[in-house]
Amino acid sequence: MQRTLFNEDHAAFRESAKAFVERTITPNVEKFIEQRVIDRDVWLEAGRQGLLGLEIPEEYGGSGANDYRFNTVFAEELCRVNAAVASSLGIHGDVVAPYLVDLCTEEQKQRWLPGMCTGEIKTGIAMTEPSGGSDLAALKTNAVRDGDDWILNGSKTFITNGYTADMIVVAARTDPSKGARGITLFAVETGMPGFERGRKLDKVGQHPSDTAELFFSDVRLSQEHMIGEEGQGFIYMMERLPQERIGGAISNLAHAQGVFDETLEYVKERKAFGQAIGKFQHNKFLLAELRTKLDVSQAFIDTLTMQHVRGELSPVEAAQAKYWSADVENEVIDACVQLHGGYGYMTEYRVARAWMDARVTKIWAGSNEIMKELIGRDLGL
SS3 content of the chain, % helix, strand, coil (to 5): 60, 15, 25
The stretch 12-28 carries a mean pLDDT of 97
Q: Are 208 and 33 in contact (CB under 8 A)?
A: yes
- Contacting residues for 201 by C-beta, under 8 A, at least 6 apart: 157, 158, 211, 212, 213
Q: Is 3 helix (H, G, I), strand (E, B) or coil?
A: coil
Predicted confidence at residue 182, as pLDDT, reads 95
Residues belonging to the active site: 244
The CA distance from 101 to 47, in Å, is: 17
The CA distance from 33 to 359, in Å, is: 17
pLDDT at 224 over 80: yes
pLDDT in tens, 333-357: 999 999 999 999 999 999 999 999 9
pLDDT in tens, 237-253: 999 999 999 999 999 99
Q: Which of 172, 103, 169 is nearest to 144 (CA)?
A: 172
pLDDT in tens, 142-172: 999 999 999 999 999 999 999 999 999 999 9
Predicted confidence at residue 157, as pLDDT, reads 94
pLDDT in tens, 181-214: 999 999 999 999 999 999 899 999 999 999 999 9
- Average pLDDT over the chain, rounded to whole? 96
Predicted confidence at residue 291, as pLDDT, reads 98
Portion of the chain with pLDDT greater than 90, in percent: 94
pLDDT at 266 over 90: yes
Predicted confidence at residue 160, as pLDDT, reads 96
The CA distance from 355 to 352, in Å, is: 5
What are the backbone angles phi and psi of residue 192, rounded to the nearest 5°?
Answer: -65, 130
Q: Which of 150, 156, 274, 162 is nearest to 220 (CA)?
A: 150
Strand partners, 111: none
How does 207-242 read in b/e, with b if 16+ C-beta sit within 10 Å?
bbbbbbbbbbeebebeeebbbbebbbbbebbeebbb
Report residue 265 CA to chain centroid gap.
Answer: 28
CB-based burial of residue 44 (10 Å sphere; 0-12 exposed, 13-18 middle, 19+ buried)?
Answer: middle
pTM above 0.75, yes or no: yes
The stretch 79-92 carries a mean pLDDT of 96
What are the backbone angles phi and psi of residue 348, rounded to the nearest 5°?
Answer: -70, -15
Cβ atoms < 10 Å from Cβ of 378: 14
Band of pLDDT at residue 379, cut at 50, 70 and 90: very high
How does 298-315 read in b/e, with b if 16+ C-beta sit within 10 Å?
bebbbebbbbbbeeebeb
The CA distance from 197 to 200, in Å, is: 9
Strand partners, 152: 143, 219
The CA distance from 308 to 69, in Å, is: 9
pLDDT in tens, 267-325: 999 999 999 999 999 999 999 999 999 999 999 999 999 999 999 999 999 999 999 99
The CA distance from 156 to 172, in Å, is: 10
Predicted confidence at residue 134, as pLDDT, reads 64
Predicted confidence at residue 361, as pLDDT, reads 97
Predicted confidence at residue 133, as pLDDT, reads 65
Residues in the chain: 381
Strand partners, 183: 173
